[in-house]
Amino acid sequence: MAFSDPMPSQQPPLASEMRGSLPSLAAWVLSIVTLGAGVGLLFAPDAWFSALHKPTWNPPGWLFAPVWATLYALMGTSIWLVRRQSDAGAEARHRASVLFLLQLVLNLLWTPIFFGLRSPLLAFIEICALWCAVLFTAVEFGKIRALAGYLFLPYLLWVSLALVLNGTIWLMNI
């Protein structure tokens, strides 16, 4: 997947772009990281999850918090870049923002479905929709600002792993 900036010669370097707008960037990043952490704390893995059969390649539990914090920070940076890209047009930014909101809601819903409802099957169906929403968001972001699209790629890879893991856990526990 390749992204191209509409007018790269007119785009300021990221460092100069950040000057004067760090509070806005920080607000986006902190808001999204806080939302994700809050949902994670409300629906943390419990004894039910510990008792599930899991594949040998299941990542260790300690890895999830730092990975998700990083991914949420990348998401916040991406939406910040898209919202600031005034030459992209209001309609394109609106479409990308709606996709961003959709994928964020789907992201935040997965945890209560899997851990709260204890439904690996329903969570698997939901994460398939999430994967599509993340892909579409990355593509739309890439059309507006290449860096914003590329910043979504680690998230797409992690959700890909989570999708396969979720499906495997469901199948191992039928």
pLDDT at 16 > cutoff 70: no
User: For 35-81, what is each residue's pLDDT tens digit?
Assistant: 999 999 999 999 999 999 999 999 999 999 999 999 999 999 999 99
For residue 2, what pLDDT is reported?
67
DSSP 113: I
User: For 74-110, what is each residue's pLDDT tens digit?
Assistant: 999 999 999 999 888 899 999 999 999 999 999 999 9
For residue 88, what pLDDT is reported?
80
For residue 26, what pLDDT is reported?
97
Which of 172, 131, 129 minimizes the C-alpha distance to 155? Answer: 131
Which of 88, 74, 90, 89 minimizes the C-alpha distance to 147? Answer: 74
Q: What is the distance between the alpha carbons of residues 116 and 44, in angstroms, rounded to a whole number? A: 9
The two tokens of residue 83 are 């919202």
Average pLDDT score over the chain: 92
Q: Compute the half-sphere exposure of residue 35: CA atoms within 13 Å on the CB side of its CA.
A: 17
Entry field: residues in the chain: 174
Read off the pLDDT of each residue in 113-122 and give the average, rounded to a whole number: 98
Which of 138, 123, 130, 125 minimizes the C-alpha distance to 107? Answer: 130
Contacts 24+ apart (CB under 8 A), 113-116: 114/43, 114/166, 115/43, 115/44, 115/45, 115/46, 115/48, 115/49, 116/42, 116/43
Of 2 and 41, which is predicted with more confidence?
41
The two tokens of residue 44 are 């943390």
For residue 20, what pLDDT is reported?
57
